[in-house]
Amino acid sequence: MSNSIIKPQTLRGFRDFLPEMMIPRLQLIEQARTVYSQYGFSPIDTPALEYSNILLGKGGDESDKQLFRFIDQGDRDVAMRFDLTVPLARFAAQHIPQLGTPFKRYHIAPVWRGERPARGRFREFLQCDFDTIGTESIAADIETVLVIHDLLHAIGLENFTIHVNNRQLLNGVLEQHGLLERTVPLLRALDKLPKIGEENVIAEMKQTAQVDHDQAKTILQLAALKGEASSVLDQARPLVADSERGQAAIESLHRLTQTCFEIGITGDQLHLDLSIARGLDYYTGTIFETFLNDLPGIGSICSGGRYDDLAGLFTKQKLPGVGASLGLDRLLAALEEQGRLEAVGTTSQVLVTQFDANHLADYQKISRQIHRAGIASEVYPEAKAIGKQLKYANKKRIPLAIIAGTQEFENRNWQLKDLNQGRQLTLNEADLIEKIREILSVT
């Protein structure tokens, strides 16, 4: 064996999470869990690896999914999950007969896509989904808005807007013009609006969907409607005209927004936005996107919608549902950009320094007393020069240090050093814990 060193590196598009990023990431996960649980969503987990045919479905376009796919030791064609929706569909088909409906689950787990890496885009990232399966009731759509709202509040973000649309609204307008079967090319053209502008979209619609100029204009007029709910709906009504489908969508959006307002969501936090479509073929009703008003550039941080049939590939049982997904890593990047992440290297609040290694038991005892007060505290592992130990505390941003040497053990007291304020106090054990609590609650 040679003594050469293997270069330590991660794969392109993959990354390590160091403590200063992992601590706020876990905090976000915890906040999501708390809100999801409060609303009665239960946690599940599914394997990272699945049969490729399950992940790809029938006629699935593999290149879209950019699967990490391979043949395993048992000659099975397997792949790493690229989202949590397909595994949910498989899971639902397998377990809902036993679990019953409505089934409310959340799932926070990594997914893998071999996409070209870019700034903020990785080949391994966390998804954070919640869904209510087995009901067509708009109560579940409304609850989805409440969960998104409460989640962002819990994270400490107040300046956000949830954008809502309903896929049947455009369908209603198309139905009105006899264009329902041309939905796909029309949506594909509409999707390009921000990039290529109105004139080019109209040109494409005419070419690929054979609509006339007025029809194209009407579609664009609908998609341009956004903002305060009742005003948007008032403007949408004449465009929908007699279409039952469109009228039902308007009624559904009206019910959803009004109920949310009645519950206490403000008009600033909940807008209608008839431009959002979220892909061509999955969502069938309400659609959600959520934007941070201070950081519109990062895109939607929580998106989702209603679907008619979750698991048609895997079961004959029709499973309608509604859900959304928090873009946790995107949100983490946003919080970092806003300077809202405090870069700490540890959750420790107190460093118990070792002055005399023979007193290790005493140092650990006082540290464990501090744990009992619900405060993280660690004993420095070596009786090095106190200055070196305090340097460690500073590097990790541990705000408090405890020092005790011969004199303190004789007098049965402790030195508490406040590293932010620079002051040092001499305290007995009971006062020490009290003082630590006091200092930590004010900083």
Interface segment toward a second copy; rule CB under 8 A; list 99-107, 196-204, 273-281, 418-426: 99-107
Out of 80, 169, 233, 295, the only residue in the binding site for a second copy (CB under 8 A) is 80
Contacts with a second copy, 60-79, as mask; x by CB under 8 A: ------x-x-xxxxx-x-x-
Contact criterion met (CB below 8 Å) for 68 and 80: yes
Cα separation of 123 and 113, whole Å?
A: 5
* 332 touching a second copy, by CB under 8 A: no
Q: How many residues bind a second copy (CB under 8 A)?
A: 108
Alpha carbon 385 to its chain's center: 45
Q: Which of 230, 235, 247, 364 binds a second copy (CB under 8 A)?
A: 364
The nearer residue to a second copy, 99 or 203, going by C-beta atoms, is 99
Q: Is 193 exposed, middle or buried (0-12, 13-18, 19+ CB in 10 A)?
A: middle
Residues 100-159 that bind a second copy (CB under 8 A): 100, 102, 104-105, 110, 112, 114, 124, 132, 135, 137, 139-140, 142-143, 146, 150
- Residue 399 structure tokens: 């705000």
Non-local CB neighbours of 301 within 8 Å, separated by 6+ positions: 160, 290, 291, 292, 326, 327, 330, 331, 334
Rounded to 5°, the CA angle 134-254-305 comes to: 40
Q: To the nearest whole angstrom, how small is the minimum distance from the Cβ of residue 329 to a second copy?
A: 11
Work out which of 180, 248, 298, 360 binds a second copy, going by CB under 8 A. 360
Residues 260-289 that bind a second copy (CB under 8 A): 262-264
Region of residue 134 (phi > 0: left; psi between -120 and 50: alpha; otherwise: beta): left
Chain positions 21 to 60 lying near a second copy, rule: CB under 8 A, are 22-23, 25-26, 33, 37-40, 42-51, 53-54, 57-59
- The per-residue DSSP string of 47-81 comes to -SEEEHHHHH-TT--HHHHT--EEE-TTS-EEEE-
Q: Which is nearer to a second copy, 108 or 219 (CB)?
A: 108
Element (H, E) at 396: none
- Residue number, 140 or 225, with CB nearest to a second copy: 140
Residue 387 binds to a second copy (criterion: CB under 8 A): no
